[in-house]
Amino acid sequence: MRSHDTPHILPRPFIGGGSPATMRRSVMSVFIVALLALGANPGAAQVGSETRVDSLRAEVTALKAQLDSVFQLLRGREISPEQARGDALERLRAAARAAAPTDPVSPPEEARFVGRQRSLQLLNPEISMTGELLANISNQSESTDNFIPREFELTVQSALDPYALAKLFIIFHQNGGDLEVFPVAGGEEKGDEEPFVEVEEGYIEWRHLPGGFSLKFGRFFQQFSQLNRWHLHALPFQSRSLPQMAFIGEGTLGQTGVSMHWLLPVQGFGTWEATLEVTRSSNEALFGESKRLSYLGHVNAFWQLTEATDFELGFSGVFGDRVENDQRYAQRLFGIETAFNWIPPGRARYRGLRLRAGAMVLDPERRGDDLNPDAAKGAWTMGELKVARQWLLGARFDWVQDPADTSRSAWLFSPTLTFWESEFVRLRAEYDFLHNPEETRKQFTIRVTFAMGPHRHEAY
């Protein structure tokens, strides 16, 4: 039995298995012993007997064979990085990982807890606010009413379920900077009227009904052409067209009733849609004191001409009764509108052209007598050219006859320069030159429009 201080040629870890570092030290010891044995006394080796040389050669051969067996054993063993470093703790960790199951059993699905506090926000409606501020100067009021907080609009909308959508638009409006097409002698100035708050639109809409139909019920801007559906802050100019202001009024044609929209199943010849609306007459410019039903029909067609250009054509008609001085007679308003867009796909952020034009005819018919007034006519055209990423040049020209006296007419020319600071802030400079039989109005306006929240403009 060997004592603890007895030297070994092959250390004990090699015999019973040990770390590779200890094995390498043992191999190096074998080489050192062999070299010392061969080079300790060269002179004696040369003068010694052949038996001594043969015995040394045999010993080296045996050591080489033993070294080869050690290398074969090392190559045959799987050595982890932790074992190679000789760290006992790492060896234990490696053994624990090797003993652990490769596919641990996960807890059952029903046992997992998932907090859904943030999902409660999905029940809240989308709330947005838009505002429009004017800085105005004209030849009629050079030092009064120059700064006007014209309109603030609160929008609340929500998808009620996969089929129904509800929208509510509440506005605070203050008159000022408005264009009066045919001023009434001795009438109240628009800027002198008190600010007011009203529900501009509030309706529920069912979309994606069978057959390509959708249904709307409530108070809404009616589908008389396309621009009538746009809210004031979305218009490309600071007022609506002269024909619309003369025939419908300063605002838009918005009444309470039901609207049915149908996407016609037409293939190969553009995209066609039709709208039929039945509403309670409340527009004083068109229907006076009447509260009877009025009817609207609209047909619109859209063609994609090329990748960069498209064309749109629409026809509209409104039919109802007008009550004035205890007399009732038929009231009819017709309109046609076209739109042309050029938006090059590769440069849509820097170049583009939008053109719109339309015409209206107000054709009332008396009942119970021979009086049949002449139909009043009007036309308008407008365009915007995108000259840079944030800059647009625009212009419009309008003409209209006075519905009370078709021998009188008015026209308007307005150039504009628009700067889009971002999609939430827009600045526009506009010069209006309005001529009517009573006066010539010259007006310069700086218009600042901003939006807060997820307000999304719909492409009507």
Higher pLDDT: 251 or 418? It is: 418
With 80 as the cut, is the pLDDT of residue 50 above it? no
Region 34-58 average pLDDT: 58
Q: Which residue has the tokens 């498209």?
A: 310
Q: Where is 50: in which H helix or E strand?
A: helix 50-76
Q: Sorting pLDDT into bands at 50, 70 and 90, what band is 6? A: very low
- Identify residue 54 by its one-letter amino acid code: D
Q: Do 220 and 199 touch, CB atoms closer than 8 A?
A: no
Q: Which residue has the tokens 């009413």?
A: 145
User: Which pLDDT tens digit goes with each residue over 306-350?
Assistant: 999 999 999 999 999 998 888 888 999 999 999 999 999 989 999
pLDDT of residue 43: 47
Q: Which CATH class is domain 125-452?
A: mainly beta
Q: Which residue has the tokens 């409340």?
A: 282
Q: Which residue has the tokens 């290398």?
A: 71
Q: Do 265 and 279 touch, CB atoms closer than 8 A?
A: no
Q: Sorting pLDDT into bands at 50, 70 and 90, what band is 57? A: confident
9 CB-near residues (< 8 Å, 6+ apart): 26, 29, 30, 33
Long-range contacts of 297-301 (CB under 8 A, 24+ apart): 298/223, 298/224, 298/225, 298/274, 299/272, 299/273, 299/274, 299/275, 300/226, 300/272, 300/273, 300/274, 300/275, 301/270, 301/271, 301/272, 301/273
**Using CA atoms, how far apart are residues 349 and 330, in angstroms rounded to an integer?**
48
The two three-digit tokens of residue 73, written as one number? 């054993």
C-alpha closest to that of 394 among 260, 220, 267, 236: 236
With 90 as the cut, is the pLDDT of residue 450 above it? yes
Region 366-377 average pLDDT: 66
User: Which pLDDT tens digit goes with each residue over 185-199?
Assistant: 555 555 557 888 999
Long-range contacts of 62-66 (CB under 8 A, 24+ apart): 63/30, 63/33, 63/34, 66/10, 66/30
Judged on CB neighbours under 10 Å (0-12, 13-18, 19+), 69 is: exposed
Q: Tell me, rounded to whole angstroms, the distance of Cα 237 from its chain centroid.
A: 23
User: How many helices (H) does the chain have, and how many strands (E)?
Assistant: 8, 16
**Using CA atoms, how far apart are residues 372 and 141, in angstroms rounded to an integer?**
39
**Using CA atoms, how far apart are residues 389 and 391, in angstroms rounded to an integer?**
6
Q: Do 174 and 149 touch, CB atoms closer than 8 A?
A: yes
User: Which pLDDT tens digit goes with each residue over 427-440?
Assistant: 999 999 999 998 89
**% residues pLDDT > 70 (the chain):** 74
User: Which pLDDT tens digit goes with each residue over 149-179?
Assistant: 999 999 999 999 889 999 999 999 998 888 8
Region 5-28 average pLDDT: 45
pLDDT of residue 456: 60
**Using CA atoms, how far apart are residues 238 and 242, in angstroms rounded to an integer?**
12
**Using CA atoms, how far apart are residues 167 and 426, in angstroms rounded to an integer?**
24
Phi, psi of 21 (to 5 degrees): -65, -40
**Using CA atoms, how far apart are residues 394 and 414, in angstroms rounded to an integer?**
8
pLDDT of residue 140: 77
**Using CA atoms, how far apart are residues 278 and 12, in angstroms rounded to an integer?**
104
**Using CA atoms, how far apart are residues 153 and 157, in angstroms rounded to an integer?**
13
> Which of 10-14, 98-102, 138-142, 209-213 comes out lowest in average pLDDT?
10-14
pLDDT of residue 409: 95
User: Which pLDDT tens digit goes with each residue over 64-111?
Assistant: 777 776 666 656 555 544 444 455 677 777 777 777 766 555 555 555
**Per-chain mean pLDDT for the chain:** 81
Judged on CB neighbours under 10 Å (0-12, 13-18, 19+), 362 is: buried
Which range of 42-46, 51-55, 360-364 scores highest in mean pLDDT? It is 360-364
**Using CA atoms, how far apart are residues 381 and 451, in angstroms rounded to an integer?**
27
Q: Which residue has the tokens 């006007």?
A: 148
pLDDT of residue 346: 87
